[in-house]
């Protein structure tokens, strides 16, 4: 039987994911409005989480600003489908880690995030890989039919950075003795809890693009 926390998580996702995709697809003013709201909420959560360290607050806000700028850059300068693809891989990285961790449990990965398991890490790579390859098969095969291996590497790279971002935010939560970065999202916690991987993925993708 599904516990109440998981029920909240699923219901929230049914609302949040389509709503986010709507703003992403619309682009321009609506997307800027959406990014601004997410930036302000996540910045507030970071300020609360970093407590008395002024330097940490400032560095975190600078990083978040750069991260959201790179997200805006990708949406406005690339095909929006590329942006959605990156977001989708991050989402399924999170889903894969959560579901495999719950189902198979097993040895813990690190003390930084006590709920993380090796089974979860495997799921965090496997599920986005399956989803990404399905997208490749139906969306990109005709365009980049000889780049299958390259596409696979991109998926694994995005998933890896997303997981590292998750661990980094978990480290700061642990230091602040917080279970979640906030309570704004029922079943999920704070906004930073849900975008912790994404805010690291876009800067890395941006740097790779401009180099």
Name every residue whose Cβ is closer than 8 Å to that of residue 3 and which is 6 or more positions away in sequence.
none
pLDDT at 106: 79
- Contact between 6 and 62 under an 8 Å Cβ cutoff? The reply is no
Q: What is the mean pLDDT, run by run of 10 residues, along the chain of 211 residues?
A: 61 82 88 95 93 90 96 86 90 90 84 85 94 78 62 92 94 88 80 92 91 74
The token pair at 199 is 């805010």
Pairwise CA distance, residues 211 & 207, whole Å:
6
Sign of CA dihedral 125, 131, 134, 136: negative
Task: Look at the chain and count its residues.
Answer: 211
| CB burial string 108-127: b at 16+ within 10 A, e below | ebeebbeebbebbbbbbbbb
pLDDT at 143: 52
pLDDT at 71: 94
Pairwise CA distance, residues 91 & 131, whole Å:
11
What is each CA distance from 24 to 71, 105, 190, 211, in whole angstroms?
10, 35, 21, 25
- Contact between 127 and 93 under an 8 Å Cβ cutoff? The reply is yes
Pairwise CA distance, residues 80 & 78, whole Å:
6
Segment 68-72 long-range contacts (CB within 8 Å, at least 24 positions apart): 68/35, 68/38, 68/39, 68/199, 70/202, 70/203, 70/205, 70/206, 71/35, 71/198, 71/202, 72/31, 72/32, 72/35
- Please name the helix (run of DSSP H) or strand (run of DSSP E) that holds residue 116, with its range, or none: strand 113-117
pLDDT at 1: 43
pLDDT at 3: 59
pLDDT at 118: 92
CA 206 to chain centre: 15
Pairwise CA distance, residues 101 & 138, whole Å:
29
Pairwise CA distance, residues 39 & 47, whole Å:
12
pLDDT at 142: 55
pLDDT at 169: 93
pLDDT at 150: 82
- Give the predicted TM-score (pTM) of the model: 0.89
């Amino acid at each position: 039987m599904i516990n109440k926390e998981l029920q909240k998580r699923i219901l929230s996702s049914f609302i949040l994911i389509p709503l986010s995709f709507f703003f992403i697809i619309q682009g321009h003013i609506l997307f800027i409005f959406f990014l601004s709201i997410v930036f302000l909420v996540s910045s507030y959560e970071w300020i609360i989480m970093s407590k008395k360290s002024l330097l940490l607050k400032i560095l975190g806000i600078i990083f978040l600003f750069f991260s959201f700028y790179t997200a805006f850059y990708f949406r406005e300068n690339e095909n929006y489908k590329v942006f959605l693809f990156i977001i989708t891989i991050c989402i399924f990285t999170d889903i894969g880690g959560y579901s495999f961790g719950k189902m198979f449990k097993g040895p813990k990965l690190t003390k930084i995030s006590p709920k993380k398991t090796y089974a979860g890490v495997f799921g965090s790579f496997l599920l986005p890989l399956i989803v990404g390859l399905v997208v490749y098969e139906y969306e990109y095969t005709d365009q980049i039919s000889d780049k299958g291996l390259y596409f696979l590497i991109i998926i694994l790279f995005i998933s890896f950075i997303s997981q590292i971002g998750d661990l980094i935010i978990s480290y700061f939560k642990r230091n602040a003795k917080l279970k979640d970065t906030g309570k704004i999202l029922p079943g999920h916690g704070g906004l930073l809890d849900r975008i912790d991987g994404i805010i690291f993925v876009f800067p890395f993708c941006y740097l790779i693009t401009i180099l």
